[in-house]
Structure formats: structure tokens, C-alpha cells
Amino acid sequence: MAYFRIEYYSNALHRSTSFEMLIPNDYRLDLPMQNASPIPKKPMGTLFLLHGYTGKAGNWVPEELAAKYNFAIVMPTAENSFYMNGAATGSAYQSMVGEELVDYVRRTCGLARSAADTGIAGMSMGGFGAVHLALAYPEVFGKAAGLSSAFVTRGIAGMKPGADNGMANYEYYRACFGDLDKVLESEGNPEWQVKQLKAAGKKLPDLYLCCGTEDFLIEPNRAMHRFLEEEGVPHEYHEGPGIHDMVFWTEYIQKIVRWMFE
Amino acid sequence: MAYFRIEYYSNALHRSTSFEMLIPNDYRLDLPMQNASPIPKKPMGTLFLLHGYTGKAGNWVPEELAAKYNFAIVMPTAENSFYMNGAATGSAYQSMVGEELVDYVRRTCGLARSAADTGIAGMSMGGFGAVHLALAYPEVFGKAAGLSSAFVTRGIAGMKPGADNGMANYEYYRACFGDLDKVLESEGNPEWQVKQLKAAGKKLPDLYLCCGTEDFLIEPNRAMHRFLEEEGVPHEYHEGPGIHDMVFWTEYIQKIVRWMFE
Amino acid sequence: MAYFRIEYYSNALHRSTSFEMLIPNDYRLDLPMQNASPIPKKPMGTLFLLHGYTGKAGNWVPEELAAKYNFAIVMPTAENSFYMNGAATGSAYQSMVGEELVDYVRRTCGLARSAADTGIAGMSMGGFGAVHLALAYPEVFGKAAGLSSAFVTRGIAGMKPGADNGMANYEYYRACFGDLDKVLESEGNPEWQVKQLKAAGKKLPDLYLCCGTEDFLIEPNRAMHRFLEEEGVPHEYHEGPGIHDMVFWTEYIQKIVRWMFE
Amino acid sequence: MAYFRIEYYSNALHRSTSFEMLIPNDYRLDLPMQNASPIPKKPMGTLFLLHGYTGKAGNWVPEELAAKYNFAIVMPTAENSFYMNGAATGSAYQSMVGEELVDYVRRTCGLARSAADTGIAGMSMGGFGAVHLALAYPEVFGKAAGLSSAFVTRGIAGMKPGADNGMANYEYYRACFGDLDKVLESEGNPEWQVKQLKAAGKKLPDLYLCCGTEDFLIEPNRAMHRFLEEEGVPHEYHEGPGIHDMVFWTEYIQKIVRWMFE
């Protein structure tokens, strides 16, 4: 499993940034099983794996499944951006991941260009990001999975200057999501994104949501599940024992990868 | 010259971040001159070296002088923050460099704790940052140098929503500097910082400003020079042939390091 | 948990090399439990964690215990050297880890200098290395743990030019261990090291050996256990279900860290 | 200029190793000149850039020319191996660079596969390596440049056990070059390589040699130049003021890159 750390100039961020990538293409000739078909016949798929709030490109990585199913894992660094395009110059994190980085890794490393071969998953803020980005770019991401997703939009709608919800303050959410009085009818609301796609008659990405029953984010995840059911959007939804931690995510990322690439 | 890349959790940024550091403490025993006094008798000094807008922790680094004068070089990554404390949660770049990182490298690596042994320098946005941070923390940084400094405060004062000055838009400057109608009387204005320190009877850091005569930022630098003269603030000011590029900075960082550590 | 990647000039190797280090000193102020005593009162201990044959500085790292017990984790990169001092110029891996790196991290990062606060552990070739280095430098490493240790000395003694044991060839072992006709009476034989320390009346490091019952290296580990019993050397020895893999090592490194630092 | 740090499993070395790579494919949309033709029409060329004895993958890198002439720069890490295939298991540095790494970067990053688009250059031990590897793989490397090359073969021929020439000892050279009594008629002798290629009627790579007149390696370089003239091998040979240092190499790498890619 080759490990890449790449620094490049991001036009979306107006600065250099870096990301990490794992590519299962350094075949060990001394391990016969891996050597069976060293050069896959078709382009390699890609999983974009998104970190959470306060997190970074990380190590909750399903390495063994990547080798088994022949896909690369791209781990962007998106600070605490919620993977949104902020209004300020150089805050286009949505474009950075969903357009720029997708294009960059495909043209640099010859990864598969079809949505069927491109998945996106994340946990907490990254779960929001995975769902949000797949709804923003359904032609890019064929499958999206949110683990313990931070579906915060309803909670911050109408937030006022000076307010703070314990996790972050008004200025922070405004920088990420724009006008908080209009956020429910904006790209910052995955429900709104779903309705827009449906109205336009576009194909939605396949969705997989999961959350631990003891997770403090269980209710927003149940609400999203109900919304998707009401809208008639087919999707996977799973609850299981667990809190908002790596134990739950490590277990479910295995299930999700199989769902995506098997 | 040992090279460190360090990832740590920044409380100022509410997330993991990384910085780079050079420490001249890996003495080659096969090079006799370097071996003369392998273990310096006093704690090592520190130069904080700040990147510019669109830049990153970089390689315009006076390595040989660091070994000669026995100081470490710390290169923070501050995105396009202007080294300011933004109002949004997790945007405290001023605190990140001037408090958190200073404390972290001193307690982790035993670097000298006196202002006399601690310098800060940067180019362009980093030149602004060096001057701004030294004025914000004069007890920390004994000497500060701005190369081709982006003294932008007067240019953005009173900027209106929707405006864009070619480099960045209103939302960007608002996120960095706060209320742009009040920026002239705020920490985002180095002139205001100087006046506050003088009014409080505090010692100012030693200052060194320089700029190329063909640099597009020459006028704001001349204005700062005049301001300091009018205020009776002793400082070094140098102009020389050159534009806004690495040729000028590579030349002047040598002079500046000698001025700081010789 | 701060992560360091450090490149430095190694006099032992006559070239630049790099290592990785984890230091639990970036306290999150938003997590109250961690914040209880942010600045420990005594110098931080150190665990040197050694990779195996074909391996590298790695990620089988007991991060949470490092924070709990206040020790840094240093992960050298030693190629396939068996942590021995080879005869060729620039092959002094034993000195590199046991002298140079110990000195470097202590003087650079202020880590505790006592053997009581300094442990060493490794798996497979790194298990051999941990035992070998602790016996070579008992004043440095107070406790050493070998997991599934590659006690290969008896197997390669008397190996002839042209031979290959499936893992490596004669030239390889000669480069690592020197004259293979004399290896049983040399520093490449931990049993010989034990006898030398006893003969000199020196204190041996505390030892912990473990191996999976299905591991292909179980017999050499049992042999070492018997040898230590016969020599009257107190030590921990544990077998458990498992093969030569990360599952076993991840389980036992937890036990070992508690044994070392609790 | 995107920067890659890549760790992969090397079958030639029987372990993980890393290398660095620069790829000029992160086009800045705000710099109009660079944006003229963001996606080159033909595959990108490659320069393999080899470090010297005691060195590492480095920073004497002609970045601007890489962007101008559209080639990637691959910087292997080869320890002090002289880029030779040693006899010990896991010492196949020649194969690692000239076969494995060439194949890896081409199939991973889509780089040009023709010898005309693939150059190799290095300084000191890396100069030896560049010439040696191009002669070993003339179908891979169309052009090779040695700067201040360490043509050491004649100096070590017949070296005896126990000897040391000030730079390294007998065991070191034996590990790199094999039987030192036979080294003049082996792949460790570039002159022998030239004769073999000529005898086989094979095309030689284009060669460029240069050395500073005050360099301690000037005589071996002059000897190689005379040898090539006597053999009727067309080649570039240049001397200039300078010693064995980065000043000379930084100047000549510019000339060499133009010679290779213009």
C-alpha cells in the first residue's frame, strides 16, 4: 500500500495545501497471493475519505479492502470548513474537493473517471461533507456514505450574531454557510439539495447513512432518514450500538467499503 | 541541519495543524569546523519565519546562518490569515503563532525564552504578520523584520460588502480583520498598535523594514517608514533594487538574520 | 498527540536519515480530562519502538497509553539491519539507535535521561533489536520487550557463502552480523550478551518476551525463555493464541506498555 | 509545482522506502502565463535526480525549468549505495532506481515512457550513479549527466580487507561493488559498461560530464573524458571554476536541464 503526501497549489483555496493518498499498487513479489494479478485490467477506483471537525487527513483507513477491491483512498485536508464554499476569497472547499481534487488525482494518477468507480465517505463533519458533496456533484460521486453525520443545518438556521452553540460561534457558521437566515434554502442544506436534484429530474447518488444509537448526533441522522423516506429516496440507513467515536467508524467503514466497491 | 515536520492539535485553530522547523543540532563529526563546539552553552535562539499570501512554510531559509548563529527556524502554516485573530471560532492565527506555537516550541525543544533571543520575519503578508505579531507580543519577539510587507490596512479600511480589490474580496478581509469600518483603530493596524504601545509606555520591538524599489508594495512601505519617523520610533529601513520576488527576499533575509542574531 | 517527522544527519550511518516521534504534549483545552495536568511535573519517559524486517517506522502505536503514562514514542528507521553494527562504513545501526538517537531526542526534546524512564520494544526483527540493544546498553534501556522476536543467531551460525535461508542470503547476514563462523560468541547473539553482562556483574535490563503459539518463530522464543531460566535471569514470558501478525502485536503492546510505564 | 513524498514497498530493497517527486501540473489560474496551455498535449518527461554520498533526496532542484519544459523530477533515496546492486539480499539499488522506480512512476503518474523523454543526473556519488545507470539501462535513460562524478572504480580496484581510503572502508566498497579484485571488469566500472555496450552494438545514452577545476574529483573526471574520447564516444565535457559544492552544481544543473529537455 503506497502512501502519498502531496502538496499542490489549490486555486480553490488561493494557496498551497496538501492531501494524503493511499494507492494499492506497490505489489510485493514475495507474497504470492498479492502477486496473482499485479496490474489490474481496469482503472483503479477512488474513495474520498473526509475527516471531521477538529480532525485531519487520518488513519481510520480501510487499507486491506483498498487492496482487495482495487481503489485508491484520497484524504483531503479541509480544516473546519464543513466542505462548503464560503463567501470569502480562498474558502471554496466544496470546489476544492469535488472539482479540483477529483480532477487532479484523476489526471495525475490515471484513476477511474466514472461515478460508479468514485465513492465518498466521511465521519461527523465529514459525513455531512460526503452527503453534501455527492449531492452537489452527483455526476462525480456515484456513492456517498455519512457516518455519524453532523447534519447541523437546521440547528444553525436563523442563528444570530454573537451566538455560540457550544461547538462554534455565529461568525464561524456564517463563514462556512453564508447567510444563516437563508441557509435552509441553500446548498448548505442537504435536504434542499435533494429536492433540487429531484426537481431537475437528475439521478441522485446512492446514499448510506449510519449512526450509533448513543451518539449525540443520532436525532439529526434519524431526521435525515425520515426525510429521505418521505421523499421516496432509496438509501441505506443503519443504527448500531455505539457513540461518536472511532470504534463505531472503524466498524462501519468496513461495511461501507463493501457496499461501495464489492 | 535537522528538519522537523510537526503535526499538533492547535487550540487556537480548533484543529490539527502542522509546522516545520529547522534546528542546527545534528553535528557532523566528519566536518571538523562544525564540530568545534557541538553543544552550545546557552539555549538556542529562534527565528519565526512567516510565509506570504498564497504561500506556505517554505524554503527561503537562511540555513547556514542558523548554524553559525545557533538559532532554530520555525515556519508556521497560517493559510491566508494575515496572522490575525479572526472573529470566527478557530481563526485565532495571531494567538496560534504568537502564544501557542512560541510556547510549544520552547517547552518541547528547550529554546531560549527571552525576547532578545527570539526574532520574527516574513515577506509580503508575512512581513505584515511579523510586524503585527511583534507589536502584539513585544515581550515575546525582541526583533521583527518585514520584507516587502503587505501593509494593507489603509487600503481595506471602509471596504464595502460586494467589493473586491483584485487580491481578495470584502468577505475575506472581514474574516481576517473584523469590522472594516473600524480597522484603523484596531489590532489589524500596525500604526495603531505602535501608538497603543507608546501610550502604555511599553518597549517596542526592534524593527527592520525593507522593500524593493520596483515592488508594487513600495508605497505602503514608505508610508510606514514615514509614520515610524514621525512617531520617533527608531527602526531600520532599507530600499534596494528589486521587485516582489524571491531574489530580493533571499538577499535581505541574510542581512536581517545578521541584524537579529550577530 | 503531536506527531514529529525528523530528518537529521546520522554520524552512525554517514548520511541523512529520518525517524518519527509521537509526543503527548499538545493538550486539548476543550477536553477537560486531558486538561487536568497539562504540564507534567517530571520529564517525559520514552519508548523506542522498533519495526520488523521489511518494515518501517509504523503505526502499531499505543497512542492512548502514551498520553496516559506520559511518555514519548520514538520510531527509528533502521532498514533491514537487525539493529546491528555492520562492519561496513555507515552501517552502525546499533550505535545509531542506542547511542545517537537516544542522545538526540533527549537533548532536543528534554526527555527523561534515566533508564527507569526509557523502554524499548519491537516486533519480529525489532523484537530481536529491542532485546539486543537493551543488552548492549543496559544503562540506557531499563526495560525491553520483544514481541515474536526473530532470534535468528543460532540459525545463521556457520552459514556458508552462497547459502540462502529463504528470508535472506549469506551476504546479507554477513553484512549485518559479521563473521558467521564466530557469531555465537559475538554481540549478535543475545545469549552471549547476557553471559557477558553477568560475568561483568552488571545489572541486566528488565525483559519481557512474548510470542503467538502458532507463530513460525515460537521455537526460537521458547529456546530463549529456557536459556534465561537456566541462567537465572528473571523475565516475563508469555505465549498466547496468535500468529506472526499485527493482531497479536496490537494486543501485547498494550500489556507491555503497562508493564513498562504503569 | 506539486510536491510528492511517496512511501512504497520496494521489492528491490525488500522493505518500504520513500522518494520525492515534483510534478509541474498544479497550474495557477491567477498567473496568466502559466495558464496558457494548462494540459500539455504529450506525456510529461522525467528527470531522475540523484543525491550524493551522505546526501538525501534534495533541494538542488531546477523547479522553474521543470515547469518550462514539462518534466517531472524524481528524487530517489539510495543511502550510500553508489546506485549498485550489492550482493546482499535487499541491496539492489541499481534495480530499484533503473527498473522498479522507473516503472512505478510511469505507471502511477502516466509519465512518458520513451528514453528520449527520460533523463538522469546526479552529483558526486549521484554523478557516478547517473552515468552507471544510463549505461546499465540505455533503453530507459536517453540522456545522462554526471556533475563532479565520483568515478571511484579505479581507486578501489584491488582494495584489501582492513583498508580504508578516508571516505569508507573495504567492507563498505565490497558491499556496494562486490569482489574488488574483479571490479574493473564488472558493472561497477562505467568504462567496462561502455565497452560492453559497444561490443554489443548497442546505442549509448547521450552523456554530459562536468567538474569544477578545483574539485578534488577533477582528475577522475578528466580520465573519464579521455577514455570516452579514446573510445570515440561522443559526449559533452565541461570544466569550470569551482569546487565540490552546491554553487557549482546549481549552476550546471541549469545547463544540463536545457541540454536534456530544450
At D72-84, the pLDDT tens digits run 999 999 999 999 9
On whether the CB atoms of residues D217 and D153 are closer than 8 A, the answer is no
Q: What is the reported pLDDT for C39?
A: 57
| Residues B238-248: tens digit of each pLDDT | 999 999 999 99
Instruction: Check residue D3 and report its DSSP letter.
Output: E
State the chains in contact with A (3 or more Cβ–Cβ pairs under 8 Å). Answer: B, D
Least confident of A89-103, A208-222, B39-53: B39-53
CB count within 10 Å of CB D51 equals 25
Per-residue confidence band for B39, with pLDDT thresholds at 50, 70 and 90: low
Q: Pick from D63, D88, D104: which is nearest to D253 by CA?
A: D63
Given a cut of 80, is residue B41 above it in pLDDT?
A: no
Does position D36 have pLDDT exceeding 50, yes or no? Answer: no
Q: For residue A33, is pLDDT > 80?
A: no
CA distance B220 to chain C (A): 39
> For residue C183, is pLDDT > 60?
yes
What is the rounded average pLDDT for all residues in chain B? Answer: 94
Average pLDDT score over residue span C73-93: 97
To the nearest 10 degrees (0 to 180), the angle between helices D125-136 and D190-199 is 20
Separation between Cα atoms, residue A60 and residue A49, nearest integer Å: 9
Task: Indicate yes or no: CB of C56 within 8 angstroms of CB of D169.
Answer: no
Residues comprising chain B, all counted: 262
Out of D53, D167, D172, the one facing C88 most closely (by C-beta) is D172
At C36, is the pLDDT very low, low, confident or very high (cuts 50, 70, 90)? Answer: very low
Question: Is residue A30 predicted with pLDDT exceeding 60?
Answer: yes
In this model, does residue B92 exceed pLDDT 50?
Answer: yes
- The per-residue pLDDT for A99 is 98
Cell readout for D252 is 550546471
Q: Please tell me if residue B112 touches chain C, with a CB cutoff of 8 Å.
A: no
B80, B164, B173: best to mutate for the A interface, most A CBs within 10 A: B80
Nearest CA in chain D to C165: D89
How far off is chain D from C60, nearest CA to CA, in Å?
16
pLDDT level of residue C9 (50, 70, 90 thresholds): very high
User: Where does the pLDDT of residue D27 fall: very low under 50, low under 70, confident under 90, or very high at 90 and above?
Assistant: confident
Which of A6, A7, A11, A15 to substitute to test the interface with B, most B CBs within 10 Å? A15
CB atoms within 10 A of CB C209: 24
pLDDT at position D107 over 50 = yes
pLDDT score of D35: 43
Return mean pLDDT, chain D: 94
pLDDT for D32 equals: 59
| Predicted pLDDT of residue A35 | 44
pLDDT of the residue at D18 = 95
- In this prediction, residue C40 carries a pLDDT of 61
Q: Beta-carbon neighbour count of residue D227 at 10 Å?
A: 15
- Show residues of chain D in contact with A108, CB under 8 Å: 2, 23, 25, 109-110
Tell me the pTM. 0.95
**Cell 480562498, located at residue:** A90
Check CB contact under 8 Å for A88 and B168: yes
Distance CA D116, CA D127 (A): 19
- pLDDT per residue over D229-261, tens digit each? 999 999 999 999 999 999 999 999 999 999 999
| β pairing state of B15-23 and B71-76 | antiparallel
Residue B36: CB atoms within 10 Å = 8
Q: Is the pLDDT of residue A235 over 50?
A: yes
C54 touches chain D (CB under 8 A): yes
Looking up cell 443520532 gives A218
**CB contact, 8 Å: A104 with chain B?**
no
Quick check: C55 and D14 CB within 8 A?
A: no
Backbone angles phi, psi at B186, to 5 degrees: -150, 175
pLDDT given for residue D114 in this prediction: 97
Cα dihedral: A136, A139, A142, A143 (round 10): 0
Orientation of helix C190-199 relative to helix C125-136, angle to 10°: 20
Interface test with A, best of D26, D41, D42 (most A CBs within 10 A): D26
Cβ distance of B15 and A79 shorter than 8 Å: yes
Query: Are residues A168 and B7, on separate chains, in Cβ contact within 8 Å?
Result: no
Q: Chain A: nearest CA to B21, how far in angstroms? A: 17
Whether residue C34 is predicted with pLDDT greater than 90 in this model: the reply is no
Q: State the burial class of residue B94 (Cβ atoms within 10 Å of its Cβ: 0-12, 13-18, 19+).
A: buried
Can you tell me the mean pLDDT for C201-220? 98
Burial label for C230, CB within 10 Å (0-12, 13-18, 19+), is exposed
Per-residue pLDDT band for D39 (boundaries 50, 70, 90) equals: low
Interface pTM, i.e. ipTM: 0.93
With cut-offs at 50, 70 and 90, classify the pLDDT of residue B55. Answer: confident
Q: What is the distance between the alpha carbons of residues C204 and C198, in angstroms, rounded to a whole number?
A: 8
- Average pLDDT of D126-142? 98
- pLDDT computed for residue D56 by the predictor: 81
Q: Mean pLDDT over residues B197-211, rounded?
A: 98
Percent of chain B with pLDDT over 90: 87
In this prediction, residue D62 carries a pLDDT of 78
Q: How high is the pLDDT of residue A69? A: 93
Q: Which residues of A touch B9 (CB under 8 A)?
A: 54
Average pLDDT over residues B182-204: 98
- Which residues have a Cβ under 8 Å from the Cβ of D68 and sit 6 or more positions away? none
* Mean pLDDT across D117-124: 98
Handedness of CA B185, B191, B195, B198 (dihedral sign): positive
Q: Do C25 and B109 touch (CB under 8 A)?
A: no
Share of chain D above pLDDT 90, in %: 87
User: What is the pLDDT, as a whole number, of residue B37?
Assistant: 47
Nearest chain D residue to A5, by CA: D5
For A44, the closest chain D residue by CA position comes to: D108
Chain B interface includes C3 (CB < 8 A)? yes
Chain D residues within an 8 Å CB radius of C169: 87-89
* Rounded Cα distance, B222 and D185, in Å: 69
A53-98 pLDDT per residue, tens:
998 877 678 788 898 999 999 999 999 999 999 999 999 999 999 9
What pLDDT sits at residue C32?
59
